[in-house]
Amino acid sequence: MGNFGEAYDAYFKKKGNIGEEIADVMIYLLGLSEILGIDLEKELLNKIEINRKRVYKKIDGVVTKIENREENK
């Protein structure tokens, strides 16, 4: 199933090992970024800044991105 699938499964089946499974996903991503020469910290900080500019609204109980703040300017 792979790390991502196992984390998904643990969450939806309410297994007690969700933290461990998420840690496995993180270890996988850190290793992959190292292999590919990606500065994961830089990419993460960049993505956080992009997400900060987004506007979300709860629609039918689901939080949904409705726009980027820069699009309105």
pLDDT digits (tens, 9 = 90+) for 7-52: 999 999 999 899 999 999 999 999 999 999 999 999 999 999 998 9
Question: Per-residue pLDDT for 56 more than 70?
Answer: yes
pLDDT at 66 over 90: no
* Residue of 73, 17, 62 whose CA lies nearest to 6: 17
DSSP 6: H
Dihedral sign for Cα atoms in the order 26, 24, 9, 12 = negative
Q: What is the dihedral of CA 61, 21, 39, 65, to 10 degrees?
A: -10
